[in-house]
Amino acid sequence: MSLARGTKLQQYEILAPLGVGGMGEVYRARDTRLKRQVAIKILPESWTQNPSAVERFIREARAASALNHPNIITIFDIGQSHNLHFMATELVDGHTLRDHLKRARLQLSETLEIAIQIAYALTAAHAAGIVHRDIKPENIMLRKDGYVKVLDFGLAKLTERETRTAADATATLLKAATNPGTILGTAYYMSPEQARGLEVDARSDIFSFAIVVYEMVAGMQPFSGATTSDVIAALLQTEPPPLSQCVADCPAELAWSVGKALQKDRDERYQTIKSLLGDLKRLKQRLEFEAELARVNSSSHSALNEATNAASGTKTLAEEQVTLIFPPKNLPTTNTARAATRKTRLRKAIDSLAVLPLVNASRDPNAEYLSDGLTECIINSLSKLPKLRVVPRSTVFRYKGSDADPQEIGRELGVRAVFAGRVLQHGDSLIIKTELIDIAQDSHLWGEQYRRKMTDIFSLQEEIAEDISEKLRLKLSGEEKKRLVKRYTENTDAYKVYLKGRYFVTTKRTEAWIKRGIEQFQQAIDLDPNYALAYSGLADAYAFLASSTGGWSPREAYPKARAAALKALAIDEALGEAHSSLGFYYLLYEWNFAEAEREFKRAIELSPHYPHAHDGYGFYLKAVGRHQEAMRECLMIQQLDPLSPFAHVSLGWAYYFARQDDLAVAQCKKALAMEPHSAFAYWILGLTYLQQGRVESAISALSKAVTFSDSGLAFEAHLGFAYAVAGKRAEAEEVLADLQENAAQRYVSAYYFAIVYLGLSNQDEAVKWLEKAYEERSGFLPFLKVDPIVDALRALPPFTKLLRRVGLET
């Protein structure tokens, strides 16, 4: 039965047919009550006499409406009118994946983007206990704005409530094999267990999803036949050609992942869609990284060096970094190859590791510093080994308190192994239970329980680090073994308060917590005046207070940071962290760019996997206008710290300074996808929008930066600039008044006033306040050479003179 235009179903007015699906006809309609267009799905009239069909139709609405996800179609309503059962859903402005596949072969980047969004939808559904059971290109819609929507949960079931028996399902399937169209699901996209009529779970969706990905990549389905019976026979008995045979340039990782997901034995597949999603995201990240690196290199000034390196057979630093982060992967396609690969891996060292935050099993908040501190110290010890990539603290601590599976975390981070454990403090005794997991082998490598007195904490930490390196099959030189067990103090009390200092400074970077950290570091130094790490921690704490958002005057804080860093290096010249701290001092306070570069390079030489050192070197490169090198350094940070939104912000900043606005916006949006409340991401996004002339968008972004920074004055000042550019003079002057009110109570950088006056086109006042910022040693001034926001001042002689005084012009 076809519905004519103008037919009314309750408040819905039919406008035009959209198509016919297995569960009924679909129409475009108008919701006359809410004044919006919707899609109406109608159950075939011939089915209304079938209670099970009606139940399935209602089940689709119930299952899908329970899911609130951007990649799953939204259910608005379900009802009955004129003996018709219908469902009202959002109207997707786009076309099905099937239509898309008919038009042209997809590019790999497009395939991965679509696949990842489908996997996100299934992850949400499976987390809610819902299995789709009919994943196919017809049930996937591609919106014009790039969003993917998964449709038709008509075959979905609540996994804990399904009572249909395997025998019933088998009977249905046998009947369907001779009556195409009534089969439960679509034969080409069924899992083997579904084709057999067995009980299905989320792993069935993983198989169907893999078929869709296979088809997107290869341009053909992996299982085919002239009849439904032939398709099912192929599905149950034959192995499809590997994707690498179908498509010459198919990444090996993708071929392996699809092959694993298409294992006929569901115990051999990915056990969760989230694990598969993690591998797809990592592959997409690698390809984007390589494309970004190629783009940066193509516009670099180092063509001669590249040619020289190529002639000598030497890899560039950037190429070595790609190899380091994304080592070649042995990807089995047959049982023989899989066995050979396992033997090879047994002999090879594991070259990447994530040390997950040790769990505070004591449940005592006062002991939290101990579990966190031990984690950080193990990370720092292992990071000294040049052959081992250790995921930094800033990334792994995002998993603190998470009940996520270590296997999934390892896949998401792209490491070969994960170390996890629990710490129990009982009086003066410590009990630490640990395990080491081989992600590539899906196996338990090693586990141990340690019992020690608190006075033995140093030997305990060393023993754990040595055991981990041994189980990772790392061959260490004598010098590397010394680095691994190096002690910075023999005083256990000093060590305990040092751990507390790191806990306060790194957990919350608020002024109050940083001050508490400084107190602990100072106490550690009082207990052991030769404790280099405590001095280095003190240097970082004062530098945080002196930063653009720290709230302390640079003249008050930075000299203290310098003194602490120099003391740390006087005790231990090989402490990379202290060299990094000193580099920030030279860059942001003393404006000694040559010394800053030397210190950052020395820090990277000593601690090649320390993101903070690479970040500092990247900021130096931005300040002096070496844009291509800055971009490459920022890309390195992203690979070292893959879950850090600030790594994307940092690259966005590099693009902003290089006047590559579209690329800057893209990086900020990636940061916001990882951390929706990132004040720094909204900050750089707003500044970039200003350069693009998108003033209202800039005001919106900068307003969010102010909100999410808890009214940070640096962000507020740039919002005032945006107000002024938009002609909202009253709002800009209100920002000035707020800055003045704050300045009466605490330090407020003169640079903030200069920026607002610049927006108000008062260049004389802007220059005057920049001169005051010079006297204050503002950390913003090293970037005056490259910052587009001060372009209006560049022709003024006082500004040129200021650049020379800062050291940016000769």
Contact (CB, 8 A) for 158 and 127: no
The secondary element (H helix, E strand) that includes residue 315 is none
The closest of 454, 533, 459, 528 to 491, measured between CA atoms, is: 528
Decide the pairing of beta strands 389-390 and 352-355: parallel
Average pLDDT value for the chain: 83
Averaged pLDDT for residues 600-628 = 92
DSSP letter at 350 equals: P
pLDDT-derived band of residue 47, with 50, 70 and 90 as boundaries? low
C-alpha of 796 from chain center: 43
What distance in Å separates the CA atoms of residue 508 and residue 503, rounded to the nearest whole number?
A: 9
The closest of 441, 360, 383 to 407, measured between CA atoms, is: 441
Query: CA neighbours within 13 Å on the CB side: how many for 585?
Result: 25
Pick from 241-255, 298-312, 392-406: least confident: 298-312
What distance in Å separates the CA atoms of residue 538 and residue 684, rounded to the nearest whole number?
A: 29
- Alpha helix (H) residue ranges in 661-762: 661-674, 679-691, 695-708, 713-725, 729-743, 750-759
What pLDDT score does 163 carry? 38
Tokens for 268, please give them.
């051999």
Residue 654 has pLDDT above 70, yes or no: yes
Decide the pairing of beta strands 429-438 and 443-453: antiparallel
What distance in Å separates the CA atoms of residue 441 and residue 338, rounded to the nearest whole number?
A: 10
The secondary element (H helix, E strand) that includes residue 711 is none
| Residue 698 CB contacts under 8 Å (≥ 6 apart), including other chains | 686, 687, 689, 690, 722, 725
How many contiguous H segments (helices) and E segments (strands) does the chain have? 35, 17
What pLDDT score does 795 carry? 93
Residue 682 has pLDDT above 60, yes or no: yes
What pLDDT score does 317 carry? 40
The closest of 495, 497, 498 to 456, measured between CA atoms, is: 495
Tokens for 384, please give them.
């000294």
Pick from 307-316, 578-587, 619-628: least confident: 307-316
Amino acid at 807: G
Contact (CB, 8 A) for 69 and 120: yes
What distance in Å separates the CA atoms of residue 656 and residue 649, rounded to the nearest whole number?
A: 10
Tokens for 219, please give them.
């341009």
The 3-state DSSP composition of the chain as helix, strand, coil percent (nearest 5) reads 60, 10, 30
pLDDT-derived band of residue 508, with 50, 70 and 90 as boundaries? low
The closest of 443, 127, 71 to 274, measured between CA atoms, is: 127
Residue 413 has pLDDT above 90, yes or no: no
pLDDT-derived band of residue 665, with 50, 70 and 90 as boundaries? very high
Residue 376 has pLDDT above 90, yes or no: no
DSSP letter at 510 equals: S
What distance in Å separates the CA atoms of residue 94 and residue 18, rounded to the nearest whole number?
A: 11
| Residue 350 CB contacts under 8 Å (≥ 6 apart), including other chains | 416, 417, 438, 472, 473, 474
Position with higher pLDDT, 512 vs 509: 512
What pLDDT score does 316 carry? 41
What distance in Å separates the CA atoms of residue 782 and residue 629, rounded to the nearest whole number?
A: 17
What pLDDT score does 60 carry? 65
| Residue 377 CB contacts under 8 Å (≥ 6 apart), including other chains | 461, 499
Amino acid at 767: V
What digits encode the pLDDT tens for the residues 97-140? Answer: 999 999 888 999 999 999 999 999 999 999 888 888 889 999 99
What digits encode the pLDDT tens for the residues 239-279? Answer: 898 898 888 889 888 998 999 999 999 998 999 998 899 88
SS3 157: strand
For the ranges 283-292, 338-347, 443-452, 715-724, the one whose mean pLDDT is highest? 715-724
What distance in Å separates the CA atoms of residue 396 and residue 418, rounded to the nearest whole number?
A: 10
The DSSP bridge partners found for residue 430 are: 425, 452
What digits encode the pLDDT tens for the residues 688-700? Answer: 999 999 999 999 9
What distance in Å separates the CA atoms of residue 111 and residue 668, rounded to the nearest whole number?
A: 23
Residue 477 has pLDDT above 90, yes or no: no
What distance in Å separates the CA atoms of residue 253 and residue 282, rounded to the nearest whole number?
A: 10
Position with higher pLDDT, 21 vs 802: 802
* C-alpha dihedral, 493 to 498 to 500 to 504, nearest 10°: 160
Tokens for 13, please give them.
């007015």
C-alpha distance across the termini of the chain, in Å: 82
Contact (CB, 8 A) for 70 and 56: no
Catalytic (active-site) positions: 134
* C-alpha dihedral, 334 to 335 to 337 to 338, nearest 10°: 110
SS3 39: strand
Averaged pLDDT for residues 327-352 = 48
β strands within 148-292, DSSP E = 148-150, 157-158
Position with higher pLDDT, 495 vs 651: 651
What digits encode the pLDDT tens for the residues 770-807? Answer: 999 999 999 999 999 999 999 999 999 999 999 999 99
The closest of 576, 554, 551 to 565, measured between CA atoms, is: 576
Averaged pLDDT for residues 540-558 = 86
